[in-house]
A and B are shown apart, each in its own frame.
Chain A
Amino acid sequence: MAYVAIADRDVHLHDPQTFVTKYIWSQDHKVIAIQYSVTAIAVGLVALVLSGMMRLQLGFPNTFSFITPSNYLQFITMHGMIMVIYLLTALFLGGFGNYLVPLMVGARDMVFPYMNMLSYRVYLLSVLVLRASCVVPGGPTGAGWTLYPPQAVLPGTSGAGLGIILMLVSLAIFIVAFTMGGLNYVTTILQARCRGMTLLRLPLTVWGIFMATILGLLAFPALLVSAIMMILDSVLGTSFFMPAVVSMGKGLKYDGGSPVLFQHLFWFFGHPEVYIVALPAFGIVSDLLSVHARKNIFGYRMMVWAILAIGCLSFVVWAHHMYVSGMNPYFGYFFATTTLIIAIPTAIKVYNWVLTLWHGDIHLRVPMLFAIGFIFTFVHGGLTGLFLGNVTVDLPLSDTYFVVGHFHMVMGVSPILVVFGAIYHWYPKITGRMLNEALGKLHFWATFLGAYAVYLPMHYLGILGVPRRYYALGDTAFIPNSVHDVNVAITVAALVIAAAQLVFLFNLVWSLAHGREAGSNPWGATTLEWQTPDTPPKHGNWGARLPVAYRWAYEFSVPGARSDFIPQNEPPEAPGGREHGAKP
Chain B
Amino acid sequence: MSVAALFALVAVGIVGWWLFARQLTAKPWEKRQIESDNASGGAALALPAARVGLWLLLAVMTSFFGLLISAYGMRMELADWRPLAVPDLLWANTAMLLASSAAFQWTRWAVARGHAEGVAAGLVLSGLFAFAFLAGQVLAWQQLHASGQFLASNAAAAFFYLLTGLHGLHLAGGLAVWGRTTARIWRIRARLEDVRLSIELCALYWHFLLAVWLVLFAVLMSGTSLTSAFLDICSAIVKAL
Contact = CB atoms under 8 A, between A and B. Distances in A.
Contact of B42 (A111, A198, A222, A315): A198
B45 A191 contact: yes
A477 interface: no
Contact of A195 (B42, B61, B158): B42
A442 interface: no
Given A265-B67, A268-B67, A316-B5, A228 B162 contact: yes
Interface in B24-82: 24-31, 34-35, 37-38, 40-47, 49-50, 52-53, 56-57, 59-61, 63-64, 67-68, 71, 74-75, 78, 80
Interface in A533-574: 549-552, 554-555, 572
Interface in B146-170: 151-152, 155, 158-159, 162, 166
B29 A221 contact: no
Interface in B102-122: none
B24 A225 contact: no
Contact of A581 (B12, B31, B64): B31
**How many of chain A's residues touch chain B, expressed as a range?**
35 or more
B4 interface: yes
Interface in A342-375: none
A6 B49 contact: yes
A373 B34 CA distance: 34
Interface stretch (A41-49, A51-59, A232-240, A516-524): A232-240
Contacts of B74: 258, 261, 264
A198 B37 contact: yes
A20 interface: no
B56 A584 contact: no
B64 A300 contact: no
A324 B155 CA distance: 26
A196 B24 contact: no
Nearest to A304: B24
A236 B151 CA distance: 7
Contacts of A80: none
B8 interface: yes
Contact of B8 (A219, A261, A300, A549): A219
Interface string A238-256: 1110000000000001011
B19 interface: yes
Contacts of A138: none
A492 interface: no
B26 A200 contact: yes
B45 A198 contact: no
B67 A253 contact: no
A256 B71 CA distance: 14
A134 interface: no
Interface stretch (A82-90, A125-133, A182-190, A419-427): A182-190
A581 B27 CA distance: 11
Interface string A184-228: 101100111111111111000000000000110111011011001
A198 B44 contact: no
A237 B67 CA distance: 21
Contacts of B27: 200, 301
A191 B44 contact: yes
Contact of A550 (B12, B38, B60): B38
B127 to A, nearest CB: 24
Contact of A232 (B26, B80, B151): B151
Given A198-B26, A308-B16, A311-B12, A190 B75 contact: no
Specify which of B19, B23, B158 lies most central, judged by the most chain A CB atoms within 10 Å of its CB.
B158
Interface in A162-200: 179, 182-184, 186-187, 190-200
A506 interface: no
Contact of B53 (A112, A197, A308): A112
B59 A312 contact: no
B56 A187 contact: yes
Contact of A3 (B1, B42, B50): B42
Contact of B24 (A240, A268, A305): A305
B75 A192 contact: no
Contacts of B57: 179, 183
B22 interface: yes
B44 A221 contact: no
A194 B23 contact: no
A4 interface: yes
B87 interface: no
Contact of A2 (B46, B78, B166): B46
Given A214-B12, A238-B152, A265-B71, 15 more contacts: A4-B46, A112-B49, A187-B56, A195-B41, A198-B43, A199-B23, A218-B8, A225-B64, A228-B166, A256-B80, A257-B155, A300-B28, A316-B5, A581-B31, A584-B29
7 contacts: A186-B56, A199-B23, A200-B24, A238-B162, A268-B1, A301-B27, A308-B16
Interface of A: 1-4, 6, 111-112, 179, 182-184, 186-187, 190-201, 214-215, 217-219, 221-222, 224-225, 228-229, 232, 236-240, 253, 255-258, 261, 264-265, 268, 296, 300-301, 304-305, 308, 311-312, 315-316, 318, 549-552, 554-555, 572, 579, 581-584
Interface of B: 1, 4-5, 8-9, 11-13, 15-16, 19, 22-31, 34-35, 37-38, 40-47, 49-50, 52-53, 56-57, 59-61, 63-64, 67-68, 71, 74-75, 78, 80, 151-152, 155, 158-159, 162, 166
5 nearest interchain CB pairs? A221-B64, A3-B41, A552-B28, A237-B152, A111-B49
